[in-house]
Amino acid sequence: MKTGGRLALYGLGLAVAFGGAFAVAAAAVPNAAVAGWQENGMKNHDADNAAADAPAHGEHSLKGLSVDTEGYVLSPVQAPAVVGEPGELNFQIQDATGAAVTDYTTSHDRDLHLIIARSDGALFRHVHPELDAATGTWSLPWQWTDAGSYRVFADFTPTGDDATGVTLTRLVHVAGEFTPIAPQPSRVDDVDGFQVSIEGDLVAGSAGELTISVTRDGNPVTELEPYLGAFGHLVALRDGDLAFLHVHAEGEEPKAGETAGPEIAFAATAPTAGRYLLYLDFQVDGEVHTASFVLDASHGGEAAGHEDETHSDDGH
């Protein structure tokens, strides 16, 4: 997964939760079908989404499983329909009355984080659209590089003294043929000349420690710079339904000019046994890089494997 689309994470003292299961098979999305979905605002499809994404018993705390929660709704997402077509991606966060939300609480240096991941996890981006305060519409220039079905996650914190983070999601389909990639366990990633590795295990139902190390040419990197209010930014998705949790690393918010490394520690709790996709954004010399990993969470008492596989440009 060496394309421009990858994402960010980070967090100790935080339990990392994720989500479910998808079919891995060659697939194609016809142009006409996509055009129809967009013309109808994807209403019918999103109604199916909402039902399919309803949390199962015992998974009510998982994020990124629904178009609406806690009185907020993610509107249909408008975006180019096919690969290579330049355009704009836009959407609104709406309240229970259907009115667009225009006031937010800044979290991790932004009012809203937009995460976009293909259903197989092979393509991943973490970006920050701009808000039109007059209409409540978030937008940014957009062009798809690959076909497939994508989950669009809007992660934000409403205003209010007791407000907590909200994550809403919808599916967007991009016309064209594609072959989903089955993610394989991987604890090492080479990205932009950096070697990034992860140690530790995920165990369903109990907290475990994960440590990520960054080196370059065999030397530890101690020049990790603050990015979005931290030295590393982590996103974790459960293979399948891609349930999402936005987390951040331990420690106080770094000061301007402060650096750290080569290790970042995280505490993670997987809700179920299964495969998980992790994406780490880190910044060096003013440039953000993204490393990705695939870990299997074992049932309690089982030993997790340590496959040290390096990612290729083809994905996980």
Domains 27-178 and 188-298 share a fold: yes
**pLDDT given at position 249:** 67
**pLDDT given at position 108:** 86
Residue 185, token pair as written in the block: 């366990």
Domain 27-178 coded CATH 2.60.40.10: yes
**pLDDT given at position 306:** 52
Pairing of strands 112-118, 124-127: antiparallel
- Distance from CA of residue 143 to its chain's centroid? 18
- Distance from CA of residue 52 to its chain's centroid? 19
C-alpha 54/C-alpha 71 separation (Å) is: 15
Is residue 263 within 8 A of residue 215, CB to CB? The reply is no
The residues with which 198 forms a beta bridge, in sequence order, are: 212
Could you list the mean pLDDT of each consecutive 10-residue stretch along the chain, which spans 316 residues?
38 38 37 46 43 40 86 97 96 97 94 96 94 98 97 94 92 93 96 96 82 96 91 88 69 86 85 91 94 91 51 42
C-alpha 63/C-alpha 153 separation (Å) is: 10
**pLDDT given at position 266:** 80
C-alpha 72/C-alpha 7 separation (Å) is: 24
Q: Where do the domains of the chain lie?
A: 27-178, 188-298
**pLDDT given at position 245:** 58
Domain 188-298 coded CATH 2.60.40.1930: yes
Place of tokens 């225009």: 102
**pLDDT given at position 50:** 43
The three-class DSSP label of residue 50 is helix
Is residue 58 within 8 A of residue 106, CB to CB? The reply is no
**Of 267, 271, 268, 273, nearest in space to 299 by CA:** 273
C-alpha 77/C-alpha 137 separation (Å) is: 11
